[in-house]
Amino acid sequence: MPYVKMTNIAIMVGGPEKCLPDIKNRSNESLIWIGVDRGALRLLDYGIKPVLALGDFDSITPAELNKLKNEVEDVRQFPAEKDATDTELAVRVAFHEYFPEEVTIFGATGGRLDHFLNNLWLVFLPTFQPYISKIRIVDNKNSLSYFIPGTYTIEKERDKKYLAFICLTSVEKLTLTGVKYELTETDIAFPCSLASNEFANEKAQFSFESGLVAVIQSKD
């Protein structure tokens, strides 16, 4: 695969279509699409040709698989019985072959809870540890980003009202400022969701010294 500098990857998974944001106008030269299983067909239906389609393709018919092979240059089929999910394989390919600045996963929420939890917890896999801050999950109501210990400023998304800080592990000295409900160097002993917070203005700041935090901006 060619090295593509300063690129972003978008991965379309096969989750419920009702949970997707409008992506039909998100095709541009700086955004590379990867389709996962039925998600690859969905991209073609949206007029977006992925550079790669992969998966075990157990959710599509042989005729649909032939369509993919005819329209997508790189189609990689894996056995249904394997040690990694199709989404995990796609994220691995994205980072190891395209070296992106960011990977955004669509179609990863809704539907089966076990699939969603697999997608949420991808960042705990050792192979993705160097890329934690580059992975996002987006649906029609939420955008989720991951953060390792440090100090950060985040900007409010125009269409989102709520802000949540999800402690995926125990977290030490969590500080939140520029939000409705602030914290100062608070230790969180177990995974929990600090939900339904809001931006005080257009930007907020947070910091913590250990653990892993996911930040979600959302709307009803």
- The overall average pLDDT reported for the chain is 93
pLDDT-derived band of residue 146, with 50, 70 and 90 as boundaries? very high
φ/ψ bin of 53: left (φ > 0), alpha (ψ from -120 to 50), beta (otherwise): beta
pLDDT at residue 101, rounded to an integer? 95
Q: CA-based angle 85:82:56, to the nearest 5?
A: 65
Per-residue confidence band for 211, with pLDDT thresholds at 50, 70 and 90 = very high
Percentage of residues of the chain with pLDDT beyond 90: 88
Average pLDDT over residues 115-121: 94
For the segment 40-56, the average pLDDT, to the nearest whole number, is: 94
Cα–Cα distance measured from residue 26 to residue 30, given in angstroms and rounded to the nearest whole number: 10
For 178-201, the pLDDT digits (tens) are 999 999 999 999 999 999 999 999
Q: Is residue 2 over pLDDT 60? A: no
The residues spanned by each domain of the chain are 8-140, 146-218
Q: What is the pLDDT of residue 4?
A: 43
Q: What angle do CA 189, 139, 209 make, to 5 degrees?
A: 25
Side-chain-side CA neighbours of 101 within 13 Å: the count stands at: 6
- Structure tokens belonging to residue 47: 């007029």
pLDDT of residue 81: 84
Domain 8-140 class, CATH top level: alpha beta
Task: Give CA separation, 72 vs 21, 119, 126, 152, in Å.
Answer: 23, 25, 30, 39
The CATH architecture assigned to 146-218 reads 3-Layer(aba) Sandwich (3.40)
Q: Note the pLDDT of residue 82.
A: 84
**Which pLDDT belongs to residue 25?**
58
Residue pair 128/135 in contact (Cβ under 8 Å)? The answer is: yes
Rounded to two decimals, the pTM is 0.92
Q: What is the arithmetic mean of pLDDT over 170-181?
A: 98
State yes or no: pLDDT of 20 exceeds 90.
yes
Q: What percent of the chain has pLDDT over 70?
A: 95
